[in-house]
Structure 1
């Protein structure tokens, strides 16, 4: 009998996510806006699970959430404006340098969680990515309104 279990379910999901990305790209589809919107929608829908009462507390809670769910290892580098650094990002960690940022889903997820929990509408901009030659991803909140 063949053992059909996978030793690392997070790694399997990472491969599926990357295969979808390459599939869309190979057909000339600009998937980034749709992927970011999906991430934002999911973030908004799970934001009620975060119990923080301030942006700073929420960023700490996001750090734990990212790690527990195999999304990567988060460090908050600054809080004004927030700078979020992710090592071992599930979207791009094992990707070669493709001269482009790849993590629009994560940016959208962060936007949705922040807006849903705090009411702050923001744009999360990915400034560094494994996909453009860095060994980690960096996100910066570039716009916020209450």
Structure 2
């Protein structure tokens, strides 16, 4: 199988989000996705990395977030690793959009957007290394 990949490591600071989202959008276009889909992938990556910075690291900027983009014939995979507090797949509770509209609040839509914009969203923990992973997959149609 033909596969190429590359990695980027950024500090856990929101000022680097534009770099990450721009990269995600360009990678999506390189993978063969259309512009609208590339924009959605970019939003999903923004939400995932923002969640790592704010929730996993509690806003502490001296940690790192590692991204790996993998291009295959079938999909674009974006793996995001961190060593902060993790979320497990069985802990992922998506808000009901209708309830959210009735009772709006700041935040809370990141997981919903990620799950709607990507074909797969997976959360894993590596007990040996102590790192957590969020994997976002967008299939190439």
- TM-based fold match above 0.5: no
Task: Give the structure with the larger strand fraction.
Answer: 2
The structure number with the bigger radius of gyration is 1
Q: Tell me which interval the TM-score lies in, with the shorter structure as reference length.
A: 0.3 to 0.5
Task: Give the structure with the larger helix fraction.
Answer: 1
When the two structures are superposed, what TM-score results if normalisation uses the length of structure 1? Answer: 0.37
